[in-house]
Amino acid sequence: MKDPTPPDGSPHCLRRLPQRGSYDRAVIHAILDEGLFCSVGITTAAGPVVIPMVYARVGDEVVLHGAPASRLLQAAAGGTPVCVTVTLLDGLVLARSAFHHSLNYRSAVLFGVARELTDAGEKAAALRAVVEHLLPGRSAEARPPTPKELAATRVLAMRVDAASAKRRSGGPLDDADDQAWPCWAGEVPLTLTAQPPRPTTQGSPPGPPPPAIAGYDPAGRRRAG
């Protein structure tokens, strides 16, 4: 993943409100590590396609997986350029004017070309990373994929050729003429929180959830790499 600002004229330059943007690798990685799902977009002969997916960051690559019949994964495996986006919603921004209503957010946009992982060991490691992205430590508890399950899963690793982050924080930015308008203005912070775990009704009772699940915090997950 490249840190430097793309040259002027690059299709990956931030043009709208560039002061909110960053090309810093650490900033981008932090957004990817906190997000739980991404939107993956490609251009096909039938038109653009964008699909939400679970993912994982492994170093400077993003791991994607799904059914071998997925047209998006088929196209990406064949070398079609891929765009991956992750957005974290932090709040509503309520201005006095309709024009200045907004959202507080952190987002990352990544561009690259994917390679298909065909080695069974490499595929298994990539899928472990996806499980670890959701809940660190979980892959040591769950049954690993069987050879049949690995064969039934297409796994891609997208090399990130260009990426940027963008964020908005703070309150509304009303025009001076609107600041006396008689309506409430400010922020409504939003967070993603976990509810109490519900055990499965299939098979034998799993017993009480371990601390990692009982105290699960979507935003507080810790990963290495």
In angstroms, rounded to a whole number, what is the distance separating the alpha carbons of residues 56 and 40? 13
Cβ atoms of residues 117 and 157 within 8 Å: yes
**Amino acid 13: pLDDT:** 66
pLDDT at 53 over 50: yes
The mean pLDDT of 132-144, rounded to a whole number, is 93
Q: Which residues have a Cβ under 8 Å from the Cβ of 37 and sit 6 or more positions away?
A: 52, 53, 54, 55, 86
Of residues 40 and 6, the one with the higher pLDDT is 40
Report the Cα–Cα distance between both ends of the chain, in Å, rounded: 14
User: What is 18-89+104-169's CATH number?
Assistant: 2.30.110.10
The mean pLDDT of 175-201, rounded to a whole number, is 94
- Tens of pLDDT, residue by residue over 61-110, are 999 999 999 999 999 999 999 999 999 999 999 999 999 999 999 999 99
Q: How confident is the model at residue 4 (pLDDT cuts 50, 70, 90)?
A: very low
**Amino acid 114: pLDDT:** 97
Say what the alpha-carbon torsion angle 42, 47, 53, 55 is, to the nearest 10 degrees.
0
Q: Note the pTM of the prediction, 2 decimals.
A: 0.88
The mean pLDDT of 158-178, rounded to a whole number, is 94
**Amino acid 224: pLDDT:** 41
